[in-house]
Chains A and B, each alone.
Chain A
Amino acid sequence: MNEERKGLKEKITNSDIWKSIFRHGYENTGRRYTLQILQNVWLHLHPPRISRHALNFRFTWCMGGITFLMFLVTAVTGVLLMFYYRPVAEYAFRDVQALEFDIPFGMLLRNMHRWAAHGMVISVMLHMFRVFLTGSYKKPREFNWAVGVILLLITFFLSFTGYLLPWDQLAYWAVTVGTNMARATPVLGHEGPFTPTDIVTQANDVRFALLGGTIVGPSTLLRFYILHCVAVPLVASLLMALHFWRVRKDGGISGPL
Protein backbone atom coordinates (compact mmCIF):
# COMPACT_ATOMS: atom_id res chain seq x y z
CA MET A 1 0.00 0.00 0.00
CA ASN A 2 2.65 2.45 1.10
CA GLU A 3 4.82 1.45 -1.85
CA GLU A 4 1.90 1.99 -4.12
CA ARG A 5 1.21 5.44 -2.75
CA LYS A 6 4.83 6.42 -3.12
CA GLY A 7 4.79 5.24 -6.68
CA LEU A 8 1.72 7.26 -7.42
CA LYS A 9 3.15 10.34 -5.79
CA GLU A 10 6.33 10.03 -7.80
CA LYS A 11 4.33 9.57 -10.97
CA ILE A 12 2.42 12.75 -10.35
CA THR A 13 5.38 14.87 -9.27
CA ASN A 14 7.41 13.63 -12.22
CA SER A 15 4.74 14.46 -14.74
CA ASP A 16 5.33 17.24 -17.21
CA ILE A 17 2.34 19.21 -16.00
CA TRP A 18 3.41 19.18 -12.36
CA LYS A 19 6.95 20.12 -13.25
CA SER A 20 5.75 22.97 -15.43
CA ILE A 21 4.02 24.48 -12.38
CA PHE A 22 6.48 23.70 -9.57
CA ARG A 23 10.05 24.27 -10.63
CA HIS A 24 11.57 21.99 -7.99
CA GLY A 25 10.62 19.98 -4.95
CA TYR A 26 10.91 20.99 -1.34
CA GLU A 27 13.97 19.47 0.28
CA ASN A 28 13.65 18.85 3.98
CA THR A 29 17.21 19.91 4.81
CA GLY A 30 18.96 22.56 6.87
CA ARG A 31 20.44 23.96 3.70
CA ARG A 32 16.97 24.51 2.33
CA TYR A 33 15.81 26.19 5.57
CA THR A 34 18.81 28.48 5.53
CA LEU A 35 18.34 29.48 1.90
CA GLN A 36 14.66 30.13 2.52
CA ILE A 37 15.69 32.95 4.86
CA LEU A 38 18.70 34.21 2.94
CA GLN A 39 17.02 34.34 -0.45
CA ASN A 40 13.83 36.05 0.59
CA VAL A 41 13.86 39.82 0.51
CA TRP A 42 11.25 40.07 3.28
CA LEU A 43 12.84 37.51 5.56
CA HIS A 44 16.55 38.06 5.04
CA LEU A 45 16.91 40.33 8.06
CA HIS A 46 16.38 37.22 10.19
CA PRO A 47 19.40 35.10 11.04
CA PRO A 48 19.16 31.54 9.66
CA ARG A 49 19.15 30.05 13.12
CA ILE A 50 18.26 31.37 16.57
CA SER A 51 18.42 29.94 20.05
CA ARG A 52 15.36 28.00 21.09
CA HIS A 53 14.36 30.24 23.99
CA ALA A 54 13.95 33.20 21.62
CA LEU A 55 10.89 31.44 20.18
CA ASN A 56 9.24 31.49 23.55
CA PHE A 57 6.24 33.80 23.76
CA ARG A 58 6.74 34.06 27.50
CA PHE A 59 10.17 35.59 26.94
CA THR A 60 9.57 38.31 24.33
CA TRP A 61 5.78 38.64 24.65
CA CYS A 62 6.04 39.15 20.85
CA MET A 63 5.67 42.85 21.56
CA GLY A 64 8.39 44.15 19.23
CA GLY A 65 6.91 42.17 16.36
CA ILE A 66 3.38 43.31 17.18
CA THR A 67 4.57 46.93 17.20
CA PHE A 68 6.00 46.43 13.73
CA LEU A 69 2.83 44.71 12.52
CA MET A 70 0.75 47.62 13.80
CA PHE A 71 3.04 50.01 11.97
CA LEU A 72 2.54 48.09 8.73
CA VAL A 73 -1.24 48.09 9.18
CA THR A 74 -1.28 51.85 9.72
CA ALA A 75 0.94 52.35 6.68
CA VAL A 76 -1.39 50.38 4.40
CA THR A 77 -4.66 51.76 5.75
CA GLY A 78 -3.09 55.22 5.94
CA VAL A 79 -2.27 55.27 2.24
CA LEU A 80 -5.85 54.26 1.46
CA LEU A 81 -7.19 57.00 3.71
CA MET A 82 -5.03 59.55 1.91
CA PHE A 83 -7.07 58.99 -1.25
CA TYR A 84 -10.14 60.43 0.47
CA TYR A 85 -8.74 63.04 2.81
CA ARG A 86 -7.69 66.61 2.09
CA PRO A 87 -5.66 68.44 4.77
CA VAL A 88 -7.48 71.72 4.29
CA ALA A 89 -9.50 73.23 7.11
CA GLU A 90 -12.62 73.60 4.91
CA TYR A 91 -12.57 69.97 3.77
CA ALA A 92 -10.85 67.87 6.42
CA PHE A 93 -13.82 67.30 8.70
CA ARG A 94 -16.24 66.68 5.85
CA ASP A 95 -13.85 64.23 4.22
CA VAL A 96 -13.74 62.22 7.42
CA GLN A 97 -17.53 62.35 7.57
CA ALA A 98 -17.69 61.15 3.99
CA LEU A 99 -15.42 58.28 4.91
CA GLU A 100 -17.89 57.30 7.59
CA PHE A 101 -21.09 57.62 5.62
CA ASP A 102 -20.43 57.53 1.88
CA ILE A 103 -17.33 55.57 1.05
CA PRO A 104 -17.68 51.78 0.98
CA PHE A 105 -15.80 50.32 3.94
CA GLY A 106 -14.60 53.83 4.77
CA MET A 107 -15.60 53.48 8.40
CA LEU A 108 -13.84 50.15 8.71
CA LEU A 109 -10.75 51.63 7.11
CA ARG A 110 -10.74 54.52 9.51
CA ASN A 111 -11.36 52.26 12.50
CA MET A 112 -8.52 49.95 11.56
CA HIS A 113 -6.15 52.87 11.14
CA ARG A 114 -7.07 54.41 14.45
CA TRP A 115 -7.10 51.22 16.51
CA ALA A 116 -3.87 49.97 14.98
CA ALA A 117 -2.28 53.28 15.94
CA HIS A 118 -3.52 52.92 19.51
CA GLY A 119 -2.42 49.30 19.49
CA MET A 120 1.04 50.39 18.42
CA VAL A 121 1.31 52.78 21.36
CA ILE A 122 0.30 50.04 23.79
CA SER A 123 2.59 47.42 22.31
CA VAL A 124 5.62 49.71 22.12
CA MET A 125 5.26 50.55 25.81
CA LEU A 126 4.92 46.89 26.72
CA HIS A 127 7.90 46.06 24.48
CA MET A 128 10.04 48.57 26.35
CA PHE A 129 8.85 47.15 29.67
CA ARG A 130 9.79 43.63 28.57
CA VAL A 131 13.21 44.70 27.34
CA PHE A 132 13.83 46.32 30.70
CA LEU A 133 12.59 43.37 32.75
CA THR A 134 14.86 40.93 30.92
CA GLY A 135 17.82 43.32 31.20
CA SER A 136 18.19 43.14 27.44
CA TYR A 137 19.57 46.68 27.20
CA LYS A 138 22.83 45.60 28.77
CA LYS A 139 26.05 45.28 26.84
CA PRO A 140 26.22 44.95 23.81
CA ARG A 141 22.68 46.25 23.26
CA GLU A 142 23.05 49.71 24.83
CA PHE A 143 22.82 51.52 21.53
CA ASN A 144 19.82 49.57 20.32
CA TRP A 145 18.01 50.56 23.51
CA ALA A 146 18.76 54.19 22.67
CA VAL A 147 17.40 53.67 19.14
CA GLY A 148 14.35 52.14 20.81
CA VAL A 149 13.80 55.20 23.00
CA ILE A 150 13.80 57.38 19.90
CA LEU A 151 11.34 54.97 18.27
CA LEU A 152 9.12 55.28 21.34
CA LEU A 153 9.06 59.05 20.98
CA ILE A 154 8.43 58.73 17.25
CA THR A 155 5.51 56.41 17.92
CA PHE A 156 3.97 58.98 20.28
CA PHE A 157 4.60 61.76 17.79
CA LEU A 158 3.10 59.78 14.90
CA SER A 159 0.01 59.13 16.94
CA PHE A 160 -0.18 62.72 18.15
CA THR A 161 0.14 64.31 14.70
CA GLY A 162 -2.54 61.93 13.41
CA TYR A 163 -4.86 62.86 16.25
CA LEU A 164 -5.40 66.34 14.79
CA LEU A 165 -6.39 65.25 11.29
CA PRO A 166 -10.14 64.51 11.81
CA TRP A 167 -10.36 68.24 12.67
CA ASP A 168 -13.20 67.76 15.14
CA GLN A 169 -13.48 69.12 18.68
CA LEU A 170 -11.71 66.09 20.15
CA ALA A 171 -8.76 66.48 17.80
CA TYR A 172 -8.57 70.23 17.98
CA TRP A 173 -8.50 70.55 21.76
CA ALA A 174 -6.32 67.54 22.44
CA VAL A 175 -3.68 69.05 20.18
CA THR A 176 -4.20 72.51 21.64
CA VAL A 177 -3.61 71.15 25.13
CA GLY A 178 -0.67 69.04 23.98
CA THR A 179 1.11 71.85 22.18
CA ASN A 180 0.44 74.40 24.89
CA MET A 181 3.35 72.97 26.83
CA ALA A 182 5.72 74.38 24.22
CA ARG A 183 4.78 77.89 25.34
CA ALA A 184 6.69 77.25 28.53
CA THR A 185 9.92 76.02 26.99
CA PRO A 186 12.76 77.76 28.82
CA VAL A 187 14.33 80.49 26.68
CA LEU A 188 12.56 79.40 23.47
CA GLY A 189 8.90 79.63 24.50
CA HIS A 190 7.23 82.98 25.03
CA GLU A 191 5.96 82.03 28.48
CA GLY A 192 8.99 80.07 29.60
CA PRO A 193 11.47 81.03 32.29
CA PHE A 194 14.61 82.91 31.22
CA THR A 195 12.92 83.93 27.97
CA PRO A 196 14.02 87.32 26.61
CA THR A 197 10.44 88.45 26.02
CA ASP A 198 11.48 91.40 23.88
CA ILE A 199 12.93 89.00 21.31
CA VAL A 200 10.96 85.78 21.72
CA THR A 201 7.25 86.44 21.34
CA GLN A 202 4.11 84.49 20.70
CA ALA A 203 4.73 84.95 16.97
CA ASN A 204 8.21 83.46 16.75
CA ASP A 205 8.72 80.95 19.56
CA VAL A 206 8.96 77.14 19.28
CA ARG A 207 5.23 76.72 19.57
CA PHE A 208 4.77 79.02 16.60
CA ALA A 209 7.21 76.89 14.60
CA LEU A 210 5.25 73.76 15.44
CA LEU A 211 1.80 75.21 14.77
CA GLY A 212 2.56 77.65 11.97
CA GLY A 213 0.51 80.21 13.87
CA THR A 214 -0.32 81.44 17.33
CA ILE A 215 -3.22 78.99 17.70
CA VAL A 216 -4.01 75.63 16.14
CA GLY A 217 -5.25 76.59 12.68
CA PRO A 218 -5.24 75.64 9.00
CA SER A 219 -1.46 75.80 8.72
CA THR A 220 -1.17 73.51 11.75
CA LEU A 221 -3.40 71.02 9.97
CA LEU A 222 -1.15 71.05 6.91
CA ARG A 223 2.02 70.83 9.00
CA PHE A 224 0.73 67.92 11.05
CA TYR A 225 -0.51 66.20 7.90
CA ILE A 226 2.89 66.33 6.24
CA LEU A 227 4.67 65.28 9.41
CA HIS A 228 2.17 62.47 9.92
CA CYS A 229 2.07 61.09 6.39
CA VAL A 230 5.57 61.74 5.10
CA ALA A 231 8.29 62.97 7.41
CA VAL A 232 7.76 60.95 10.57
CA PRO A 233 6.94 57.59 8.91
CA LEU A 234 10.07 57.97 6.82
CA VAL A 235 12.26 58.52 9.85
CA ALA A 236 10.43 55.73 11.68
CA SER A 237 11.07 53.28 8.85
CA LEU A 238 14.76 54.10 8.71
CA LEU A 239 15.13 53.75 12.47
CA MET A 240 13.21 50.48 12.52
CA ALA A 241 15.53 49.08 9.86
CA LEU A 242 18.46 50.13 12.02
CA HIS A 243 16.77 48.65 15.10
CA PHE A 244 16.17 45.24 13.50
CA TRP A 245 19.63 45.15 11.99
CA ARG A 246 21.16 45.86 15.37
CA VAL A 247 19.05 43.17 17.06
CA ARG A 248 20.73 40.73 14.72
CA LYS A 249 24.23 42.20 14.86
CA ASP A 250 24.14 42.33 18.64
CA GLY A 251 23.76 38.58 18.66
CA GLY A 252 20.03 38.06 18.24
CA ILE A 253 17.50 38.11 21.03
CA SER A 254 19.26 38.34 24.35
CA GLY A 255 19.57 35.24 26.47
CA PRO A 256 21.40 34.06 29.56
CA LEU A 257 24.89 33.47 28.19
Chain B
Amino acid sequence: MEHFLALVSKPDNVPILAMLFLIPYFMWLAYKQARQTDRAGVPSDAALNDKVYVWPYLCRNEFVCAIIIMLVLGVWSIMIDAPLEEPSDPAKTPNPSKAPWYFLALQEMLVYFDPWIAGVVLPGFIIAGLIAIPYIDINPKGKGYYTIKERPFALAVFSFGFIILWIVLMIVGTFLRGPGWNIFMPWQYWDPHKIVPLTNVNLSYLFGIRDDTTANFFGFAVVAGYFALGPIFYFWKYKTSRFLQELGLVRYVIVSFLFLSMVALPIKMILRLALNIKYVWVSPWFNI
Protein backbone atom coordinates (compact mmCIF):
# COMPACT_ATOMS: atom_id res chain seq x y z
CA MET B 1 0.00 0.00 0.00
CA GLU B 2 2.75 2.45 0.91
CA HIS B 3 4.31 2.06 -2.53
CA PHE B 4 1.01 2.79 -4.18
CA LEU B 5 0.52 5.88 -2.03
CA ALA B 6 4.03 7.00 -2.86
CA LEU B 7 3.23 6.63 -6.54
CA VAL B 8 -0.05 8.48 -6.29
CA SER B 9 1.56 11.37 -4.47
CA LYS B 10 4.49 11.64 -6.90
CA PRO B 11 4.32 15.13 -8.37
CA ASP B 12 4.88 13.87 -11.90
CA ASN B 13 1.81 11.68 -11.63
CA VAL B 14 -0.53 14.58 -10.94
CA PRO B 15 -1.46 14.79 -14.64
CA ILE B 16 -2.65 11.19 -14.57
CA LEU B 17 -4.74 11.80 -11.50
CA ALA B 18 -6.17 14.85 -13.25
CA MET B 19 -7.02 12.75 -16.26
CA LEU B 20 -8.89 10.26 -14.11
CA PHE B 21 -11.38 13.08 -13.68
CA LEU B 22 -11.02 14.96 -16.95
CA ILE B 23 -11.59 12.00 -19.28
CA PRO B 24 -14.86 10.80 -17.68
CA TYR B 25 -16.05 14.41 -17.44
CA PHE B 26 -15.49 15.15 -21.12
CA MET B 27 -16.91 11.79 -22.16
CA TRP B 28 -20.03 12.59 -20.21
CA LEU B 29 -20.18 16.07 -21.78
CA ALA B 30 -19.84 14.63 -25.28
CA TYR B 31 -22.32 11.85 -24.58
CA LYS B 32 -24.93 14.30 -23.35
CA GLN B 33 -24.68 16.42 -26.49
CA ALA B 34 -24.61 13.37 -28.75
CA ARG B 35 -27.80 12.02 -27.21
CA GLN B 36 -29.45 15.38 -27.62
CA THR B 37 -28.60 15.48 -31.34
CA ASP B 38 -29.60 11.88 -31.85
CA ARG B 39 -32.99 12.55 -30.30
CA ALA B 40 -33.81 16.00 -31.61
CA GLY B 41 -31.93 15.93 -34.91
CA VAL B 42 -29.21 18.22 -36.18
CA PRO B 43 -29.99 21.92 -35.62
CA SER B 44 -31.56 23.61 -38.63
CA ASP B 45 -29.86 26.02 -41.03
CA ALA B 46 -31.57 29.05 -39.56
CA ALA B 47 -30.14 28.45 -36.10
CA LEU B 48 -26.67 28.02 -37.56
CA ASN B 49 -26.34 31.05 -39.78
CA ASP B 50 -26.30 33.07 -36.63
CA LYS B 51 -22.93 34.85 -36.65
CA VAL B 52 -21.33 36.87 -33.89
CA TYR B 53 -18.40 39.28 -33.85
CA VAL B 54 -15.13 37.76 -32.69
CA TRP B 55 -14.37 41.02 -30.92
CA PRO B 56 -15.67 41.13 -28.25
CA TYR B 57 -17.46 37.79 -27.97
CA LEU B 58 -14.75 35.24 -28.78
CA CYS B 59 -11.88 37.34 -27.47
CA ARG B 60 -13.69 37.73 -24.18
CA ASN B 61 -14.09 33.96 -23.89
CA GLU B 62 -10.44 33.39 -24.73
CA PHE B 63 -9.41 35.96 -22.17
CA VAL B 64 -11.52 34.50 -19.37
CA CYS B 65 -10.43 30.98 -20.24
CA ALA B 66 -6.76 32.04 -20.21
CA ILE B 67 -7.16 33.68 -16.80
CA ILE B 68 -8.80 30.62 -15.29
CA ILE B 69 -6.17 28.28 -16.69
CA MET B 70 -3.36 30.54 -15.51
CA LEU B 71 -4.90 30.55 -12.04
CA VAL B 72 -5.04 26.75 -12.02
CA LEU B 73 -1.47 26.55 -13.26
CA GLY B 74 -0.36 29.16 -10.73
CA VAL B 75 -1.91 27.31 -7.79
CA TRP B 76 -0.55 24.00 -9.08
CA SER B 77 2.96 25.50 -9.36
CA ILE B 78 2.86 27.03 -5.89
CA MET B 79 1.50 23.91 -4.21
CA ILE B 80 3.49 21.16 -5.89
CA ASP B 81 7.22 21.23 -6.55
CA ALA B 82 8.75 19.67 -9.64
CA PRO B 83 10.70 16.55 -8.69
CA LEU B 84 14.47 16.44 -8.52
CA GLU B 85 16.00 13.14 -7.53
CA GLU B 86 19.63 12.23 -6.98
CA PRO B 87 22.18 13.18 -9.64
CA SER B 88 22.15 10.81 -12.58
CA ASP B 89 24.30 7.73 -12.24
CA PRO B 90 24.62 5.36 -15.19
CA ALA B 91 25.72 2.62 -12.81
CA LYS B 92 22.59 2.74 -10.63
CA THR B 93 19.59 1.41 -12.53
CA PRO B 94 16.35 2.00 -10.65
CA ASN B 95 13.88 -0.86 -10.56
CA PRO B 96 11.43 -0.33 -12.19
CA SER B 97 12.77 2.14 -14.79
CA LYS B 98 9.84 3.97 -16.25
CA ALA B 99 9.56 6.18 -19.32
CA PRO B 100 7.71 9.51 -18.88
CA TRP B 101 4.02 8.92 -18.12
CA TYR B 102 2.75 9.71 -21.63
CA PHE B 103 4.88 6.90 -23.07
CA LEU B 104 3.81 4.26 -20.58
CA ALA B 105 1.23 2.74 -22.91
CA LEU B 106 4.08 2.11 -25.34
CA GLN B 107 6.24 0.69 -22.58
CA GLU B 108 3.32 -1.51 -21.56
CA MET B 109 3.21 -2.96 -25.06
CA LEU B 110 6.79 -4.16 -24.55
CA VAL B 111 5.42 -6.78 -22.19
CA TYR B 112 3.47 -8.39 -24.97
CA PHE B 113 5.61 -7.81 -28.05
CA ASP B 114 9.29 -7.69 -28.87
CA PRO B 115 10.80 -4.19 -28.88
CA TRP B 116 10.84 -3.82 -32.65
CA ILE B 117 7.07 -4.32 -32.80
CA ALA B 118 6.10 -2.55 -29.57
CA GLY B 119 8.61 0.25 -29.92
CA VAL B 120 8.82 0.86 -33.64
CA VAL B 121 6.24 -0.91 -35.80
CA LEU B 122 3.11 -0.37 -33.70
CA PRO B 123 3.87 3.31 -32.93
CA GLY B 124 4.45 3.72 -36.66
CA PHE B 125 1.04 2.20 -37.34
CA ILE B 126 -0.55 4.47 -34.74
CA ILE B 127 0.87 7.57 -36.44
CA ALA B 128 0.08 6.40 -39.96
CA GLY B 129 -3.37 5.30 -38.84
CA LEU B 130 -4.17 8.64 -37.20
CA ILE B 131 -3.13 10.56 -40.31
CA ALA B 132 -5.12 8.17 -42.50
CA ILE B 133 -8.37 8.60 -40.53
CA PRO B 134 -9.86 11.48 -42.57
CA TYR B 135 -9.08 9.71 -45.82
CA ILE B 136 -10.51 6.32 -44.91
CA ASP B 137 -13.59 7.52 -43.05
CA ILE B 138 -15.88 8.31 -45.96
CA ASN B 139 -19.02 8.73 -43.87
CA PRO B 140 -20.11 12.31 -44.66
CA LYS B 141 -22.41 12.47 -41.65
CA GLY B 142 -21.52 13.53 -38.15
CA LYS B 143 -19.34 16.46 -39.20
CA GLY B 144 -19.22 19.34 -36.74
CA TYR B 145 -21.53 17.98 -34.05
CA TYR B 146 -21.64 15.26 -31.45
CA THR B 147 -23.53 12.13 -32.45
CA ILE B 148 -23.40 8.43 -31.80
CA LYS B 149 -26.11 7.11 -34.08
CA GLU B 150 -24.57 8.41 -37.31
CA ARG B 151 -21.07 6.97 -36.89
CA PRO B 152 -21.08 4.16 -34.31
CA PHE B 153 -18.19 2.15 -35.82
CA ALA B 154 -15.75 5.08 -36.10
CA LEU B 155 -16.52 6.21 -32.56
CA ALA B 156 -16.24 2.72 -31.10
CA VAL B 157 -12.87 2.02 -32.72
CA PHE B 158 -11.31 5.37 -31.87
CA SER B 159 -12.62 5.47 -28.32
CA PHE B 160 -11.42 1.92 -27.70
CA GLY B 161 -7.97 2.83 -28.98
CA PHE B 162 -7.75 6.12 -27.10
CA ILE B 163 -9.40 5.25 -23.79
CA ILE B 164 -8.46 1.60 -23.33
CA LEU B 165 -5.25 1.11 -25.27
CA TRP B 166 -3.73 4.52 -24.55
CA ILE B 167 -5.12 6.02 -21.33
CA VAL B 168 -5.87 2.86 -19.35
CA LEU B 169 -2.56 1.23 -20.28
CA MET B 170 -0.84 4.45 -19.26
CA ILE B 171 -2.56 4.33 -15.86
CA VAL B 172 -1.68 0.64 -15.42
CA GLY B 173 1.92 1.38 -16.32
CA THR B 174 2.10 4.25 -13.85
CA PHE B 175 0.33 2.86 -10.84
CA LEU B 176 0.40 -0.92 -11.06
CA ARG B 177 3.83 -1.73 -12.46
CA GLY B 178 6.52 -2.34 -9.86
CA PRO B 179 9.98 -3.94 -9.67
CA GLY B 180 10.76 -6.26 -12.55
CA TRP B 181 7.85 -4.63 -14.36
CA ASN B 182 5.52 -7.01 -12.50
CA ILE B 183 1.95 -6.09 -11.74
CA PHE B 184 1.42 -5.09 -8.11
CA MET B 185 -2.03 -4.32 -6.81
CA PRO B 186 -2.30 -1.16 -4.70
CA TRP B 187 -2.50 -3.11 -1.47
CA GLN B 188 0.45 -5.37 -2.31
CA TYR B 189 3.96 -4.98 -1.02
CA TRP B 190 6.57 -4.12 -3.67
CA ASP B 191 8.85 -7.11 -3.34
CA PRO B 192 11.91 -6.54 -5.53
CA HIS B 193 12.70 -10.24 -5.30
CA LYS B 194 9.23 -11.36 -6.33
CA ILE B 195 9.62 -14.47 -8.40
CA VAL B 196 7.20 -14.92 -11.22
CA PRO B 197 7.40 -18.43 -12.68
CA LEU B 198 8.27 -18.14 -16.36
CA THR B 199 5.90 -20.70 -17.73
CA ASN B 200 5.19 -18.90 -20.98
CA VAL B 201 5.20 -21.15 -24.03
CA ASN B 202 4.82 -20.48 -27.70
CA LEU B 203 1.52 -21.10 -29.41
CA SER B 204 3.03 -23.81 -31.59
CA TYR B 205 4.22 -25.64 -28.46
CA LEU B 206 0.69 -25.61 -27.12
CA PHE B 207 -0.37 -27.36 -30.30
CA GLY B 208 2.22 -30.04 -29.78
CA ILE B 209 4.71 -28.82 -32.38
CA ARG B 210 8.30 -29.33 -31.24
CA ASP B 211 10.20 -28.89 -34.48
CA ASP B 212 11.44 -25.35 -35.27
CA THR B 213 10.74 -25.36 -38.99
CA THR B 214 7.21 -26.64 -38.52
CA ALA B 215 6.70 -24.10 -35.75
CA ASN B 216 7.85 -21.36 -38.10
CA PHE B 217 5.34 -22.38 -40.75
CA PHE B 218 2.63 -22.83 -38.18
CA GLY B 219 3.20 -19.35 -36.79
CA PHE B 220 3.26 -17.85 -40.25
CA ALA B 221 -0.01 -19.60 -41.05
CA VAL B 222 -1.68 -18.29 -37.89
CA VAL B 223 -0.57 -14.68 -38.48
CA ALA B 224 -1.36 -14.80 -42.19
CA GLY B 225 -4.70 -16.40 -41.41
CA TYR B 226 -5.47 -13.64 -38.92
CA PHE B 227 -4.78 -10.90 -41.45
CA ALA B 228 -6.65 -12.88 -44.10
CA LEU B 229 -9.79 -12.25 -42.07
CA GLY B 230 -9.86 -8.86 -43.79
CA PRO B 231 -10.09 -10.13 -47.39
CA ILE B 232 -12.38 -12.99 -46.34
CA PHE B 233 -14.85 -10.57 -44.83
CA TYR B 234 -14.59 -8.41 -47.94
CA PHE B 235 -15.46 -11.16 -50.40
CA TRP B 236 -18.13 -12.54 -48.12
CA LYS B 237 -19.98 -9.23 -47.72
CA TYR B 238 -19.05 -7.31 -50.86
CA LYS B 239 -22.13 -8.23 -52.90
CA THR B 240 -24.63 -7.24 -50.26
CA SER B 241 -22.91 -4.34 -48.54
CA ARG B 242 -23.35 -0.91 -50.08
CA PHE B 243 -20.89 0.39 -47.53
CA LEU B 244 -18.08 -1.86 -48.76
CA GLN B 245 -18.79 -0.96 -52.36
CA GLU B 246 -18.55 2.73 -51.61
CA LEU B 247 -15.44 2.29 -49.49
CA GLY B 248 -13.51 0.70 -52.36
CA LEU B 249 -10.75 -1.88 -52.26
CA VAL B 250 -7.77 0.36 -51.41
CA ARG B 251 -9.46 2.03 -48.48
CA TYR B 252 -10.78 -1.31 -47.30
CA VAL B 253 -7.32 -2.88 -47.30
CA ILE B 254 -5.98 0.00 -45.19
CA VAL B 255 -8.91 0.02 -42.78
CA SER B 256 -8.90 -3.73 -42.23
CA PHE B 257 -5.13 -3.92 -41.86
CA LEU B 258 -4.99 -1.09 -39.32
CA PHE B 259 -8.01 -2.43 -37.48
CA LEU B 260 -6.61 -5.96 -37.24
CA SER B 261 -3.23 -4.61 -36.11
CA MET B 262 -4.90 -2.61 -33.37
CA VAL B 263 -7.01 -5.53 -32.18
CA ALA B 264 -3.92 -7.74 -32.21
CA LEU B 265 -2.71 -5.97 -29.06
CA PRO B 266 -5.65 -6.89 -26.80
CA ILE B 267 -5.69 -10.38 -28.37
CA LYS B 268 -2.05 -10.89 -27.51
CA MET B 269 -2.68 -9.53 -24.01
CA ILE B 270 -5.46 -12.02 -23.47
CA LEU B 271 -3.41 -14.88 -24.89
CA ARG B 272 -0.55 -14.00 -22.56
CA LEU B 273 -2.63 -13.46 -19.45
CA ALA B 274 -5.02 -16.36 -19.92
CA LEU B 275 -2.93 -18.99 -21.70
CA ASN B 276 0.67 -17.89 -20.99
CA ILE B 277 1.44 -17.66 -24.69
CA LYS B 278 4.84 -16.10 -25.32
CA TYR B 279 4.97 -15.90 -29.09
CA VAL B 280 2.48 -16.73 -31.81
CA TRP B 281 5.07 -16.91 -34.53
CA VAL B 282 8.71 -17.81 -33.92
CA SER B 283 10.93 -17.42 -36.95
CA PRO B 284 14.71 -17.31 -37.34
CA TRP B 285 14.54 -13.52 -37.92
CA PHE B 286 11.90 -12.25 -35.57
CA ASN B 287 9.20 -13.33 -33.13
CA ILE B 288 5.64 -12.09 -32.93
Contact = CB atoms under 8 A, between A and B. Distances in A.
B233 interface: no
Given A51-B48, A194-B285, A133 B146 contact: yes
A184 B114 contact: yes
A97 B84 contact: yes
B53 A30 contact: yes
B88 A256 contact: no
B196 interface: no
B143 A115 contact: no
B120 A167 contact: no
Interface stretch (B97-105, B242-250, B271-279): B97-105
A108 B140 contact: no
B82 A110 contact: yes
A34 B48 CA distance: 20
Contacts, number: 258
B164 interface: no
Contacts of A174: 97-100
Given A107-B81, A186-B120, A255-B48, A33 B55 contact: yes
B81 A133 contact: no
Contacts of B52: 49-52, 55
Interface string A115-136: 1101101100110011011111
Contact of A115 (B26, B61, B76, B118): B76
Contact of B97 (A57, A177, A186): A177
A168 B61 CA distance: 40
Interface string A97-115: 1001000000110111111
A153 interface: yes
Interface stretch (B13-21, B185-193, B201-209, B255-263): B13-21
Contacts of B286: 193-194
A168 B30 CA distance: 41
Interface stretch (B1-9, B62-70, B211-219, B223-231): B62-70
Contacts of B22: 122, 126
Contacts of A137: 133-134, 137
A9 interface: no
Contacts of B116: 184-186, 189, 191-193
Mostly helix, strand, loop or mixed at chain A's interface?
Answer: helix
A232 interface: no
A58 B33 contact: yes
Given A181-B115, A193-B286, A194-B285, A49 B33 contact: no
A80 interface: no
Contact of B69 (A61, A69, A141): A69
B102 A159 contact: yes
Contact of A118 (B14, B48, B81, B147): B14
B3 to A, nearest CB: 16
A178 interface: yes
Contacts of A55: 52, 57-58, 61
Contacts of B14: 115, 118
B158 interface: yes
A185 B247 CA distance: 33
Given A66-B69, A136-B144, A126 B120 contact: no
Interface of A: 30, 33-34, 36-37, 43, 46-55, 57-59, 61-62, 65-66, 69-70, 73, 93, 96-97, 100, 107-108, 110-116, 118-119, 121-122, 125-126, 129-130, 132-139, 141-142, 145-146, 149, 152-153, 156, 159-160, 163, 166-174, 176-178, 180-186, 189, 191-194, 215-217, 253-257
Interface of B: 12, 14-15, 18-19, 22-23, 26, 29-30, 33-34, 42-43, 45, 48-59, 61-62, 65-66, 69-70, 73-74, 76-78, 80-90, 92-94, 97-100, 102-103, 106-107, 114-116, 118-121, 127, 130-131, 133-135, 137, 139-147, 151, 154-155, 158, 162, 166, 285-286
